[in-house]
Structure 1
Amino acid sequence: MSDNLNAMLEPGMLVQNPARPDWGTGQVQSNIGGRITVNFREMGKMVIDGSHVMLIPVFEA
């Protein structure tokens, strides 16, 4: 399920949480055992449970 896509997230990648667009874009800090730590511009550092939340990679030019 979402585990497969979240598993590709690596430190340094930019992501958004589609359920919380108000958090802005975040940078992945770590991805260990499905727990993804992301530093969001508007919310700060959050730990996301990858089995419940599908983060969307952001590719900025």
Structure 2
Amino acid sequence: MTGPFQSFLEPGQIVQHPDHPDWGWGQVQSAVEERVTVNFQHQGKVLIDASRITLKLVPRTG
């Protein structure tokens, strides 16, 4: 087991899964250490291990 992992993601941020662009954008619901729950447009809620998958942050416009 490795040391504590700190995710840079926060609830409310918009992200995309690099391996599943067909899921659309997703909103981060929670981020606790490496466990990030994201609600994607076309996939629903997914629990992501952020120590294995780097979600792409979608910049906010406006």
Same-fold call, TM cutoff 0.5: yes
Q: Look up the SS of the partner of 1:18 in the other structure.
A: coil
* RMSD of aligned alpha carbons: 1.2
Once the two structures are TM-superposed, the CA of residue 59 in structure 1 deviates from its matched residue by 1.2
Q: Percent identity?
A: 49
Alpha-carbon shift at residue 60 of structure 1 (Å): 3.3
Unaligned stretches of 5+ residues in structure 2: none
Task: Write the distance in 2 (CA, Å) between the matches of 1:50 and 1:60.
Answer: 21
Provide the residue aligned with 2:34 in structure 1. 34
Structure 1: any 5+ residue segments left out of the alignment?
A: none
User: Larger Rg: 1 or 2?
Assistant: 2
Q: TM-score, normalised by structure 2?
A: 0.84
Tell me: higher relative CO, structure 1 or 2? Use CA pairs within 8 A at least 6 residues apart: 1
Aligned length: 57
Q: TM-score, normalised by structure 1?
A: 0.86
Q: What does residue range 12-51 of structure 1 map to in structure 2 within 5 Å?
A: 12-51=12-51
Cα deviation, 1:3-56, whole Å, max 9, x if unaligned, reads: 66xx11100000000111011000000001200000000100000011111000
